[in-house]
Amino acid sequence: QVQLQESGPGLVKPSETLSLTCTVSGVSITSYYWSWIWQPPGKGLEWIGYFYYSGTTNYNPSLKSRVTISVDTSKNQFSLRLSSVTAADTAIYYCARHNSYNYEGLDYWGQGTLVTVSS
Amino acid sequence: QSVLTQPPSVSGAPGQRVTISCTGSSSNIGAYYDVHWYQQLPGTAPKLLMYRNKNRPSGVPDRFSGSKSGTSASLAITGLQAEDEADYYCQSYDTSLSGVVFGGGTKLTVL
């Protein structure tokens, strides 16, 4: 059974760096592409970026200057760092698995974690 | 402004058929990339509803069907049920962005 679980602080101060981790169980993260997606309250889904364990990463151009996705294969985890956050970064953050390649659908999702940016 | 365009809302009575459109461009749907659809029930994570345009994951009722033509795709729901009330999102891949793109989402209301 494939499961994804996001973890990290639920509250981040403006100008600081948001850090989240996605822990994957039931499958090796070396076998698929993985993405982070966010959803501001009451709004739609937006892709943040994806990675493949070999080092391939790509980010949404609108966030590229502030985003880093990294992977820890020993822990079967991958992480998101978003720097210089503002209130506009308040959102539910999801991690998800692509069904094989980066252009395939996202077949497994974490439950999502709400991150609020506020002082 | 989403790269893929969906109607903000659709509605239908129980038992009726509704369709949700998803319009893209030559850099995504028109570039032969597949379209995938998600259902998001209130307060839950999105769930893959349709993959590669017209394929249903295990457990998705055959009341749901998908199609793609040119730079657009559609999701059809027949025999509408109250439990279908949710937000629906289309998703594809865009060569200009080299990344995943979503539609803005469509809220389905069952009257």
Question: For residue B79, which of B63, B61, B66 has the smallest C-alpha distance?
Answer: B63
Say if the Cβ atoms of A94 and B57 lie within 8 Å: no
Average pLDDT score over chain A: 95
Under DSSP, is residue A29 helix (H, G, I), strand (E, B) or coil?
A: helix
> What pLDDT does residue A72 have?
93
Maximum separation of any 2 CA atoms in chain A, in Å? 40
> What pLDDT does residue A118 have?
96
| Chain A residues touching B27 at Cβ < 8 A | none
Q: Give the model's confidence band at A21: pLDDT under 50 very low, under 70 low, under 90 confident, else very high.
A: very high
pLDDT at A115 over 90: yes
Residue of A57, A94, A103, A106 to mutate, interface with B, max B Cβ within 10 Å: A103
Say if the Cβ atoms of A103 and B104 lie within 8 Å: no
> What pLDDT does residue A78 have?
96
How far apart CA A106 and CA A99 sit, in angstroms, is 6
CB B66 within 8 A of CB B54: yes
Q: Which of B45, B92, B97 sits opposite A94 (nearest CB)?
A: B45
Each residue's pLDDT tens digit, B1-49: 899 999 999 999 999 999 999 999 999 999 989 999 999 999 999 999 9
Question: For residue A56, which of A75, A32, A74 has the smallest C-alpha distance?
Answer: A32
Q: Which of A44, A94, A105 sits opposite B104 (nearest CB)?
A: A44
Say if the Cβ atoms of A102 and B100 lie within 8 Å: yes
Each residue's pLDDT tens digit, B42-91: 999 999 999 999 999 999 999 999 999 999 999 999 999 999 999 999 99
How far apart CA A61 and CA A75 sit, in angstroms, is 29
pLDDT at A18 over 90: yes
Say if the Cβ atoms of A111 and B99 lie within 8 Å: no
> What pLDDT does residue B85 have?
97
pLDDT at A55 over 90: no
Phi first, then psi: give them for residue A93, nearest 5 degrees: -105, 130
Q: Which residues of B touch A (CB under 8 A)?
A: 2, 33-34, 36, 38, 40, 44-48, 51-52, 57, 87, 89, 91-93, 97-105
Question: For residue B48, which of A108, A40, A45 has the smallest C-alpha distance?
Answer: A108
Say if the Cβ atoms of A105 and B101 lie within 8 Å: no
Average pLDDT over residues A90-100: 95
Say if the Cβ atoms of A107 and B46 lie within 8 Å: no
Q: Give the model's confidence band at B105: pLDDT under 50 very low, under 70 low, under 90 confident, else very high.
A: very high
How far apart CA A95 and CA A106 sit, in angstroms, is 10
pLDDT at A22 over 90: yes
Distance separating the N- and C-terminal Cα atoms of chain B: 28
pLDDT at A101 over 90: no
CB A100 within 8 A of CB A33: yes
What are the DSSP calls for B8-75, one per residue? Answer: SEEEE-TT--EEEEEE--TTTGGGT---EEEEE-TTS--EEEEBTTTBPPTT--TTEEEEEETTEEEE
Q: Which of A47, A59, A112 sits opposite B45 (nearest CB)?
A: A112
**Chain B residue with minimum CA distance to A61:** B97
